[in-house]
Amino acid sequence: MKTLDWKRILFNDLPPYFLIEVFFRSIIMFAVLLLALKITGKRGVKQLSVFETVIIIALGSAAGDPMLYDNVGLLPAVTVIVVIILFYKGITWLTGVSSKFEQFIEGKTECIIDEGEFSLRSFKKESLAQDEFFQELRMKSIEHLGQIKNAYVETSGEISTFYYPDEEVKYGLPIVPQLYNQKSEIVTYNGTYACSFCGNIQELTTDGGTCENCSKKEWVLAIKTVRIG
């Protein structure tokens, strides 16, 4: 009766010192995944932090391959998982003792709207397209930026918004498509306009003008409706 080939099951004919190579491969690939998702930005991971997403990807890959392929030994896969867990424990400890390291791994909350206008410095740092951001706001029943006192991009990628009371709502940049898409450098009549790029409010005449905040020249007629819902 043929017995199980335990050497093939555990090592797949690989020498035992290959586990050392697996250790270094695991460290390198884990770091590559972490940096890749960090560069890509946190908007894609929503509820999970970048670090937690890396853990899930790495563990899933380490556990999946030896389940499917007979040319992947079990011990190297177990070594990968152990290394990832140890690495996770080490990084978790570092985030607890170093606030700078924690900010690098988890990111930090950024103010993206300040008193009804885009905070340009924060908005440029976030991997967040303007139309994507407007969609997030519309889903909160927001019609224009003048309804918002402050909005923040949290470390999870979620948008937190704080509103002006109805009596304090001011003129703001419309974010509903039928109004925003009318943006133009041509000002058809005198009135209150919002810069289509940064949301800055200016009184304009038919001569048009340049935004005092970002130097852009496209404008949308500002509105001052109160928030419903």
Per-residue pLDDT of the chain in tens (229 residues, 90 and over written 9):
567 777 777 777 777 777 887 888 788 777 777 776 665 555 555 566 677 777 878 877 877 776 655 567 778 878 888 888 888 888 888 888 888 887 787 777 888 899 999 887 766 655 567 788 888 899 999 999 999 999 998 877 788 999 999 999 999 999 999 999 999 999 988 999 999 988 999 999 988 889 998 899 999 999 999 988 6
pTM for this model (two decimals): 0.64
pLDDT at 158: 81
pLDDT at 95: 82
List C-alpha distances in Å: 108 to 5, 68, 136.
52, 39, 19
111: DSSP letter? E
For residue 92, give the 3-state DSSP assignment: helix
The C-alpha atoms of residue 96 and residue 89 are separated, in whole angstroms, by 11
The C-alpha atoms of residue 226 and residue 144 are separated, in whole angstroms, by 9
Query: Where do we find the tokens 């397209």?
Result: 129
163: DSSP letter? E
The C-alpha atoms of residue 178 and residue 122 are separated, in whole angstroms, by 27
Query: Where do we find the tokens 């690989």?
Result: 14
The C-alpha atoms of residue 116 and residue 149 are separated, in whole angstroms, by 6
What is the torsional sign of CA 223, 225, 227, 229?
A: negative
Query: Where do we find the tokens 């919002």?
Result: 194
pLDDT at 210: 92
Number of helical (H) and strand (E) elements in the chain, helices listed first: 8, 7
For residue 9, give the 3-state DSSP assignment: helix
What is the torsional sign of CA 24, 27, 29, 32?
A: negative
List C-alpha distances in Å: 90 to 37, 95, 190.
19, 9, 61
pLDDT at 61: 81
* Helices 18-40, 50-68: crossing angle, 10 deg rounding: 140
pLDDT at 229: 65
